[in-house]
Amino acid sequence: MTLRASSIRCDDVTVQFDNGIRAVDEVHTDFPAGKITTLIGPSGCGKTTLLRLIAGLQSPVSGTVQFIDSTSVRRRGDVAFVFQQPSLLPWRDAIGNVLLPLELIARDTASQRRGKAAAMLEMVGLGDALHRLPHQLSGGMKMRVSLARALVTEPSVLLMDEPFAALDDMLRNSLGQLLLKLWQDLSLTVVMVTHDIAESCLLSHQIQVMHSGEITQRIDNPLGWPRDEQLRRTAEFGTFYGTVSDALRSSA
Ligand SMILES: Nc1ncnc2c1ncn2[C@@H]1O[C@H](COP(=O)(O)OP(=O)(O)OP(=O)(O)O)[C@@H](O)[C@H]1O
């Protein structure tokens, strides 16, 4: 499967709710094509609203969000969203849940859809669990199904809102590694909200710090690759962790 990466440009974009709260305040930034950008900042600073805006789930009162890629024609399913809760349909098995977005966009034949869904479940390590119902899956497996469902439409952009926050440390680490593999194999542009500084350092190319509706800092990640668990134990990782912590504190 070859997917196209897109960069995302936000030009002075503002979201103001009916209650007067400006959750996103004249944000001018971009998220580079084919890279992983993490978005961090204190609770209520507007991270989810910015992600929803990029996904087209929230309208701005001013400004624009643009996707810049090799094709100007955007298709349904080009932007995928993964939430903290996997939200699987309980009466559908794993492959039934992954088939859902393909059925909605009705692009392929039934057997092509099944082939794509099975291949995607294989890719997330669930090739032998296609017919398990959600209640027969662990929390980590449900998140893997959720990732497969998000990616089965071959999006160029993957948006993630604290996807691993509800999972324990070990699962979180293994899903982080899975995200890196998917990003690489599918050449995705990823924007991920997280509260976890270590996760942000380990998984990103760039970290954007948000405060009171604004992007206050953009920090390029100097850490090398591969981004495995060994890296967490290095002095470089500790130093970068400190830089990001300081940036968060100074933005407050
Ligand atoms: N639909 C809405 N109507 C009114 N206010 C809203 C709405 N959605 C969010 N807000 C407010 O907008 C601000 C930003 O919320 P948002 O959920 O984007 O923050 P966040 O940084 O993602 O927070 P958290 O880290 O706690 O998830 C908050 O003050 C929130 O109360």
Q: What is the per-residue pLDDT for 251?
A: 76
pLDDT tens sequence across 141-184:
999 999 999 999 989 899 999 999 988 888 999 999 999 999 99
- Looking at this predicted complex, what is its ipTM? 0.97
Atom of ligand 1 at shortest distance to CA of 210? 21
CB 164 within 8 A of CB 83: no
- Which residues are 159's β-sheet partners? 81, 191
Please report which residue ranges of the chain form alpha helices under DSSP H. 47-55, 94-105, 110-123, 139-151, 169-186, 197-203, 235-251
pLDDT tens sequence across 35-88:
999 999 999 999 999 999 999 999 999 999 988 875 544 555 688 999 989 999
Query: What is the separation of C-alpha 28 from the centre of its chain, rounded to a whole number of angstroms?
Result: 20
CB 54 within 8 A of CB 191: yes
Q: What is the torsional sign of CA 139, 143, 148, 150?
A: positive
- What does the domain layout of the chain look like in residue ranges? 1-78+157-164+180-252, 83-154
Rounded distance between C-alpha atoms, residue 201 and residue 36, angstroms: 11
Q: Which mutation among 13, 14, 15, 17 tests ligand 1's pocket best, with the greatest number of atoms within 8 A of CB? A: 17
CB 41 within 8 A of CB 248: yes
The CATH number of the domain covering residues in 1-78+157-164+180-252:
3.40.50.300
CB 49 within 8 A of CB 23: yes
CB 61 within 8 A of CB 132: no
Question: Which two three-digit tokens encode residue 174?
Answer: 């293994």
Question: Which two three-digit tokens encode residue 18?
Answer: 């009916």
Pocket residues for ligand 1 (CB within 6 Å)? 17, 19, 21, 23, 41, 43-49
Give nearest CA residue, ligand 1 atom 26: 43
Q: Which mutation among 19, 22, 27, 49 tests ligand 1's pocket best, with the greatest number of atoms within 8 A of CB? A: 49
In this structure, the strands spanning 206-211 and 214-220 are antiparallel
Q: How far, in Å, is the centroid of ligand 1 from the Cα of 198?
A: 24
Per-chain mean pLDDT for the chain: 92
Confidence band for 221, pLDDT divided at 50, 70 and 90 = very high
Give nearest CA residue, ligand 1 atom 20: 44
The pTM for the full model equals 0.94
